[in-house]
Amino acid sequence: MTHPDDTPAEIVVKRFLYVNRKAPHGTIYALEELEMVLIAAMFEQDVHLAFLDDGVFQIKKNQKPAELALKDFSKTYGALEDYGVEKIYVEKESIEERGLTPDDFIIPTTVLRRDDMSALMESMDVVLTA
């Protein structure tokens, strides 16, 4: 694999959006999307994360997946700041439909209405969804 430090001096910076739409456990999408974000964070790109639909549960506080012998990777979202990933959005309608507020989340988030979320997606160069 090419190391990101090998990229030429003139770095292209694109707007990346990682869209998380699924509940944290039950399928592997949330975990592998997060693994991708941690790698992507090494590439000096403009990284954004969005949580909508059941994806908002990924960053819910007080998860106890150890009772199902699953790793609690919800803690890993707390390291995103160290990785320089700080543009994190949740969809207002999604959290309201699920009885959540931003206080329920382990990381600071910006709440966007559904049409503003569409506009955010529209403004991206690369949108990776799972």
Partner 1 sequence: MDYVIMVNEGPYNHQASDSAYHFATHALDKGHSIRRIFFYYDGVLNGTKFSAPQSDDRNIVKRWAALAEDHPVDLAICVAAGLRRGITDDSLADGFRITGLGEFIESCIDAERTVVFGD
Partner 2 sequence: MYELNGKTINHDEEGYIVNLDDWSEELADKIAKDEELDMTEEHWEVVKFLRDYYQEYQIAPAVRVLTKAVGKRLGQDKGSNKYLYELFPYGPAKQACKIAGLPKPTGCV
CB contact at 8 A, 59 and 100: no
Residue 86 is a binding residue for partner 2 (CB under 8 A): no
Of 14-22, 50-58, 70-78, 93-101, the window that binds partner 2 (rule: CB under 8 A) is 70-78
Pairwise CA distance, residues 42 & 83, whole Å: 8
Separation between Cα atoms, residue 130 and residue 101, nearest integer Å: 23
Supply the minimum distance, in Å, between the C-beta of residue 7 and partner 2.
11
Residue 73 Cβ, how far from partner 2 at the closest point, in Å?
6
Report if residue 28 touches partner 2, rule: CB under 8 A.
no
Contacts (Cβ under 8 Å, ≥6 apart) of 79 = 38
Residues that bind partner 2 (CB under 8 A): 1, 3-4, 35, 38-39, 42, 71-73, 75-76, 78-79, 82-83
